[in-house]
Structure 1
């Protein structure tokens, strides 16, 4: 943005760049001592300008063409439209999925050790019920003889440091925060509190020049519950290794880590504490040694059939000490669960008290949450219908659909445009409007392949191998083609969510839509644009099931409603809050509380916050 302003102002003086990843006094002073020549980044600037202009030409013109052609508020773009298509494809997979029943066998010994049957290929499931029935009948209650005990010493290293996308995924999975909300919290921790480094990074590694600053960062964040852990790391010289220090994997900014700045933990909000805790623990974890354990696999024979049991003994907690050994590894999908194994020798006979058939059903793929959608946007290659491996590799290497800095806004825009929605939980559904949009837009705009083609050319511009003017001319011509295709379309757009209410401004029927925070009535006339809240999800909790209550109605007739069936008038809510709080709660306090639920925190940076208080003539 700064380069663009300099360009438009026709400044021709030499430029130096301040390249820093945190805004502490020390980082800024060090940055000014090592200013970088602006000429080194000319091609990178050209690439950024080309990307921005291309997105603007296509997004603006295609959106306007769709909106005027079908008289509905329809948006499209090279990132948001493929994202909607990915959600639609998952919805189709779920709809067309046909569950199958699978079968297995479990044997239980007299001392409650569970043994799982495996076929010669190592599979513990079979879709052939008759085969499993026959095996169970043949085995009866014969005893098992241990024919193999395998012991393996294993190591598990800490997960990599956070980039923005991984942090957004974890915050959504653990706390239910949206991608946008996590970015806003991170921005405050970076700019206002100055305790974390630059958030909009796509790297999960540190550059080698950061290693010397690690002790100071540990001392800064090593307070309160982190003190003992930080002191353990500081007790020995810090050894960097390729698992978290790799210059080749750091482009613009390194992974998100604590700064050397003073931490005033008491000034953090609850949400800021939670995000800070994630980053600090991940930072500490990579500096701890590996988690070491011995995996024990026991194989036994019952008649001619193989049965297996698995367990492990922890040798050294390593980095899992940071998480108090509660860190959950990714699910493997393996039926063989680890258990505490008794002392057993090879050749030993195990007394079997039960052999039973087990069964289950295959499950459809899960609907996207914001966490899993971020993953799909980061690596959308499996959603591409192309045989061009170079395109797929380019998309993977350039970070997928959108950037770490834009994905949160894209997802938020899809919700606010009513192309996708949530229905009470974390799961994301495509709306009828989203479905119809995919039917109305040109085919190319729905595929991540278009982004891959662009990224190949933008990469060439960044390396100085392609002029940005050539690329922008191509984009202008492409924009003319898709606008022409939309204008000549004979397809129709149909509102299927028309309510019985009329717009108070223009009199046309209103549309009922599910906004991100509740139901809304929206005028179907794009030029009118009238909107009205019907209900909204609040932070007030149901006294019976503890889920968030939905507030419906207006004025004195407002009522809280829960999915479990609980209902409570606003007046009763006020009385209950007063009784539970043991103090006075007037209507103004309640209305202020409810108003907070409607508002989102402003996405202001430190400069905007400073300018906000100024008065201009």
Structure 2
């Protein structure tokens, strides 16, 4: 009798790619077979934690006296449109000729939960191996199957995913019912959604409470450069100073030159890519994740849901080829010297290394890709080129001048080495070089001007800045030894933002070039009534 390994993937498209590499080309009903493998799939989560009324019919009505609802034994529900595939997996898992099951769901916390739920609900007891890969390239898949890991190594990852799932259920079910009953309208409360909404509401309150203040600065023009004084509250005082300095002479009291070095940025993790894609391309976090996921499944990009910004040490030898590939994708030249070591650090890599293009991407006709995928691939490639480049080096000059009894400052910058900034939009900015100045030098003031300014309120959140706030939320309140993950994970933050918009608690408002995220009246009302612990 032939024996088979059963490979369970997260979705059909991934299953087809893996089956093609393994030689499992024969089609069955809900699976593929061949080469000693059976390859099947889930449709994301085949089973979800059951609603409250599955535990007791009385929970079909929302009543305060029934709270809290705390299941003693957790139940799962399989959606009607997914039941057939769950039955297929059950039949495959219990086949006598299947000796081992390979978990080939996405190599992350959620993928672990998807597989284990199906495995456990189908009462499978066969040995489990784990496929853990960061690329869907054929070579990566083959290497992954040559190095399958014991499924038990990921028990803690599964426990983490299960804990997160149950915590979401407990907070969502109980808090939503409590506050909806208290305020006689549906108020959806979530473990991550509500604190994220609270960030938006707090920022809106800060903006509304802000009182702008007018200030004045005096600017002195010299031959070829200008110097500015400090802020003044009274216009009359600024006008008097301008009058005292007009057509007078200013004395240079100090000239300080400092060489500044800016290290190249790290490679992209998912959140940093989503932030840049929002700021530079206007994509939402969800759009960026969708484009990246599609590139991953097309073997053009590595695993998207990563929180690491480095490659592993053993990848250092391939960085030169990667940079050349990325230069081709961007239609530019690679750095004269590729600094491979600065992007490789195994100590800084968790489950997956940073997001980078695959070598296959360099051989792909980019014009055949949808515009969104093409732009994301170029953005990821540009980040690689910046990350492996030399530092940006400039000479900053600050001169202080005395005139009319006040001090004025002039700043200049001379670029010494463009380095990684050669790949940025502002990379070719003109030097703001000051003329040669020396302490004690006297300079005639050619003209004076008083300029009016106003202090500005905090800025509305964009998806870029909200993602950053979610990533660092609670950082100051956590001990140094704690694992800091902020609100949500790189894989879930986009969905949290979309849920806030879909449920009517937040909305996107276009303002000039940016799209703001602002709370709706319903969102403000919800946070107003929630206790601080749920915010």
Same fold judged by TM-score > 0.5?
Answer: yes
1:18 corresponds in structure 2 to 131
1:41 corresponds in structure 2 to 154
Choose the corresponding residue for 2:198, options 85, 101, 105.
85
SS in 2 for 1:31: helix
CA deviation string 1:578-603 (max 9, x = no partner) = xxxxxxxxxxxxxxxxxxxxxxxxxx
- Is the 8 Å Cα contact of residues 253 and 402 (structure 2) preserved in structure 1? yes
TM superposition shift of 1:105? 1.8
Choose the corresponding residue for 2:208, options 52, 73, 95.
95
CA deviation string 1:315-355 (max 9, x = no partner) = 22111222365389xxxxxxxx9833223344332120223
Following the alignment from structure 1 to structure 2, what is the Cα–Cα distance between the partners of residues 394 and 56? 28
Which piece of structure 1 moves more, 415-424 or 281-290?
Answer: 415-424
Following the alignment from structure 1 to structure 2, what is the Cα–Cα distance between the partners of residues 322 and 6? 48
TM superposition shift of 1:44? 2.4
CA deviation string 1:22-51 (max 9, x = no partner) = 111111122223323323222222122111
Following the alignment from structure 1 to structure 2, what is the Cα–Cα distance between the partners of residues 77 and 287? 41
Choose the corresponding residue for 2:525, options 436, 455, 458.
436
1:539 corresponds in structure 2 to none
1:108 corresponds in structure 2 to 221
When normalised by structure 1's length, the TM-score is 0.63
1:349 corresponds in structure 2 to 442
1:280 aligns with 2:381: yes
- Is the 8 Å Cα contact of residues 319 and 340 (structure 2) preserved in structure 1? no
SS in 1 for 2:437: coil
TM superposition shift of 1:220? 3.6
SS in 1 for 2:372: helix
Choose the corresponding residue for 2:400, options 293, 299, 318.
299
2:345 corresponds in structure 1 to 246
The structure-2 alpha-carbon separation of the partners of 1:108 and 1:406, relative to structure 1 and needing over 3 Å to count, comes to same
TM superposition shift of 1:65? 4.5
TM superposition shift of 1:390? 5.2
The structure-2 alpha-carbon separation of the partners of 1:190 and 1:135, relative to structure 1 and needing over 3 Å to count, comes to same
1:422 corresponds in structure 2 to 508
Following the alignment from structure 2 to structure 1, what is the Cα–Cα distance between the partners of residues 332 and 524? 52
- Is the 8 Å Cα contact of residues 104 and 126 (structure 1) preserved in structure 2? yes
Choose the corresponding residue for 1:139, options 220, 232, 245.
245
The structure-2 alpha-carbon separation of the partners of 1:188 and 1:305, relative to structure 1 and needing over 3 Å to count, comes to same
1:289 aligns with 2:397: no
| RMSD across aligned positions (CA) | 2.6
The structure-2 alpha-carbon separation of the partners of 1:264 and 1:71, relative to structure 1 and needing over 3 Å to count, comes to farther
Q: Could you tell me which runs of 5 or more consecutive residues in structure 1 were left unpaired when the two chains were aligned.
A: 118-123, 329-336, 383-388, 447-617
1:378 corresponds in structure 2 to 471
2:306 corresponds in structure 1 to 201
TM superposition shift of 1:127? 3.1
SS in 1 for 2:460: coil
SS in 1 for 2:118: helix
The structure-2 alpha-carbon separation of the partners of 1:105 and 1:57, relative to structure 1 and needing over 3 Å to count, comes to same
1:255-270 aligned within 5 A? 255-261=354-360, 262-270=363-371
1:407 aligns with 2:506: no
1:183 corresponds in structure 2 to 289
Higher relative contact order (CA 8 A, sep 6+): 1
Following the alignment from structure 2 to structure 1, what is the Cα–Cα distance between the partners of residues 157 and 270? 21
- Is the 8 Å Cα contact of residues 146 and 345 (structure 1) preserved in structure 2? yes
SS in 2 for 1:310: strand
- Is the 8 Å Cα contact of residues 198 and 256 (structure 1) preserved in structure 2? yes
2:176 corresponds in structure 1 to 63
Choose the corresponding residue for 1:173, options 269, 279, 282.
279
SS in 2 for 1:223: helix
- Is the 8 Å Cα contact of residues 221 and 263 (structure 1) preserved in structure 2? no
Following the alignment from structure 1 to structure 2, what is the Cα–Cα distance between the partners of residues 289 and 112? 32
TM superposition shift of 1:87? 0.9
Following the alignment from structure 1 to structure 2, what is the Cα–Cα distance between the partners of residues 8 and 429? 42
Query: Number of aligned pairs?
Result: 417
- Is the 8 Å Cα contact of residues 289 and 319 (structure 1) preserved in structure 2? yes
Following the alignment from structure 1 to structure 2, what is the Cα–Cα distance between the partners of residues 130 and 379? 44
SS in 2 for 1:295: strand
Following the alignment from structure 2 to structure 1, what is the Cα–Cα distance between the partners of residues 316 and 407? 51
TM superposition shift of 1:293? 1.7
Following the alignment from structure 1 to structure 2, what is the Cα–Cα distance between the partners of residues 156 and 398? 26
The structure-2 alpha-carbon separation of the partners of 1:390 and 1:94, relative to structure 1 and needing over 3 Å to count, comes to closer
Following the alignment from structure 1 to structure 2, what is the Cα–Cα distance between the partners of residues 225 and 203? 23
Following the alignment from structure 1 to structure 2, what is the Cα–Cα distance between the partners of residues 213 and 437? 51
1:125 corresponds in structure 2 to 231
Q: Could you tell me which runs of 5 or more consecutive residues in structure 2 were left unpaired when the two chains were aligned.
A: 1-113
1:360 corresponds in structure 2 to 453
The structure-2 alpha-carbon separation of the partners of 1:221 and 1:26, relative to structure 1 and needing over 3 Å to count, comes to farther
The structure-2 alpha-carbon separation of the partners of 1:142 and 1:272, relative to structure 1 and needing over 3 Å to count, comes to same
The structure-2 alpha-carbon separation of the partners of 1:75 and 1:165, relative to structure 1 and needing over 3 Å to count, comes to same
TM superposition shift of 1:126? 3.5
The structure-2 alpha-carbon separation of the partners of 1:439 and 1:224, relative to structure 1 and needing over 3 Å to count, comes to closer
1:380-395 aligned within 5 A? 380-381=473-474, 391=478
- Is the 8 Å Cα contact of residues 220 and 449 (structure 2) preserved in structure 1? yes
- Is the 8 Å Cα contact of residues 309 and 338 (structure 1) preserved in structure 2? no
TM superposition shift of 1:72? 3.7
1:311 corresponds in structure 2 to 412
1:76 corresponds in structure 2 to 189
- Is the 8 Å Cα contact of residues 330 and 378 (structure 2) preserved in structure 1? no
